[in-house]
Amino acid sequence: MIKVLIVDDNDYNKTQGIVKILKEFEEISDSNIIEVKDISSAKRILKEEKIDLLILDIKIPINNGDDADPEGGRILLEDIHLDNSLKKPISILGISSIDDSYLKVKSAFDNKLWTLLKFDRSSDNWKICLKNKVQYLIDNDNEKLPEIDIAIITALFDRELEAILKLPCNWEELNIKNDSTIYYKGIIRKDNISLNVIAAACSRMGMSASASLTTKICMTFKPKYIFMSGITAGIEGKCKFGDILVADPAWDWGNGKLTIDEEGNPIFNSSPNQIKIDQKYRELLRKMSVNRNFVDKIKNDWGEDIDHILSLRIGPVASGAAVLEDPIIASSIKKQHRDLLGIEMEIYGMMLAVETLPDPQPIAIAFKSVCDYADPNKNDKWQKYAAYTSASFLYEFIKEHVD
């Protein structure tokens, strides 16, 4: 939406003519047209509001009730240029019906590449120029990226992103010029604030794809938080199907050296780089893990009978380059961390990408729920439920602890 500030004190018909033109554009609502009559009032607005288009008469008073200053408009423009407490309008348009005022300030407008129009009731030229200026701002505004508080990424569209898009966020598809990724923009409302959310799925599975999408989203939208949601293999005996795992730490289980021992047998010497989540959010999540209100509600809202309780578990989750159905490899990965909870393919890519971003870096946390045990018996039976519990708990976490 375009916001317009009109500064004019003595020509009601001119002002109403300007307002009439502005209202021809559906992108400009009545509430986004602000009218004031003096420089002091205009500066007060510019300290509080970000104005897209400033339209001003040249002959305006310093304060309300004063006589109009023949060069009041120029004075206001100099204040805008020099006073850093004023938010600079994106575009400035002067409109004068007085020849002397027009001639006195024309060079000042030209020097700063501002537009100055001669108002003439008998001519439509000023109207055409005003319409063109507004249309340009609207076209430019349509290409602006939305301000984003939270980014959510998943490895898969099917099941994982679908579960995110079922959250009550009023999702709308968002396409970015020259970007092949399809984004979804939503809003999470809590207390007296609204959080803008962007969600997207990786182009393919794996750490490279998750690191690439993470970097692109963070550099494009600059969110304060980035979360991963989805499904993972769990370690049997450590967790149950549907349990939500918070990866802390995350690492690449394939990072290390393949060599042979003295007898010529192949061995793998692991060298993991483990990335932990922020201490503040680790403690908040621990509190949520012992409060069963959240997980019990999520399980009950599923609508189907599940014969075991749902739990939130915080602990080590390893990422790798392949889908695992081999219990021998899974057992070897467990040796890298005795408390291992899960094995998947994307979390470390997101965490490492965030760790290497320039400051300020977003808070990064991965929530993935268990759908199998990385063995030949794995199937799709629990994937939909796991995607649901992961997405639902992430939503509750945002509502509870993100602002």
- Please report, for the domain that includes residue 250, its CATH number: 3.40.50.1580
Beta-strand runs (E) in 133-202: 150-154, 172-175, 182-190, 193-201
**Does 246 share its domain with 391?**
yes
How remote is the C-alpha of 315 from its chain's centroid? 27
Distance CA 231, CA 236 (A): 15
Cβ–Cβ < 8 Å for 251, 319: yes
Query: pLDDT tens across 46-94, in order?
Result: 998 889 999 988 888 888 888 888 777 788 888 888 888 999 898 888 8
Residue 52 is part of a domain; what is its CATH number?
Answer: 3.40.50.2300
| The domain boundary residue, chosen from 142, 164, 195 | 142
Strand ranges for 21-135 from DSSP E: 33-36, 53-56, 91-96, 115-118
Structure tokens at 380: 């799709």
Q: First CA to last CA across the chain, in angstroms? A: 24
Query: Are 181 and 95 within one domain?
Result: no
**pLDDT tens profile 172-224:** 999 887 889 999 999 999 888 899 999 999 999 999 999 999 999 999 999 99
Residues 148, 188 contacting (CB under 8 angstroms): no
Same domain, 275 and 303: yes
Strands 182-190 and 172-175, sheet pairing: antiparallel
The H or E element spanning position 210 is helix 207-221
100 with 171, same domain?
no
The CA-atom distances, in angstroms, between 359 and each of 178, 193, 362 are 26, 25, 8
Q: What is the pLDDT of residue 399?
A: 94
Answer yes or no: do 11 and 54 share one domain. yes
C-alpha 127/C-alpha 125 separation (Å) is 5
Chosen domain end from 125, 142, 159: 142
Q: What are phi and psi of 184, to 5 degrees?
A: -130, 125
What residues contact residue 16 under an 8 Å CB cut-off, 6+ apart? none
Number of domains in the chain: 2
Residues 302 and 391 in one domain: yes
Q: For residue 114, what are the contacts with CB-CB under 8 A and spacing of at least 6?
A: 77, 92, 93, 94
- pLDDT digits (tens), the chain, 403 positions: 789 999 887 766 778 888 888 899 888 888 899 999 889 999 999 998 889 999 988 888 888 888 888 777 788 888 888 888 999 898 888 887 666 666 667 776 766 667 777 777 777 788 888 888 888 888 776 666 778 999 999 999 999 999 999 999 999 999 887 889 999 999 999 888 899 999 999 999 999 999 999 999 999 999 999 999 999 999 999 999 999 999 999 999 888 777 777 777 777 777 788 999 999 999 999 999 998 999 999 999 998 999 999 999 999 999 987 766 666 677 778 787 889 999 999 999 999 999 999 999 999 999 999 999 877 776 688 999 999 999 999 999 999 999 8
Helix (H, G, I), strand (E, B) or coil at 273: coil
> For residue 264, what are the domain limits?
150-401
The domain boundary, picked from 107, 142, 177, lies at: 142
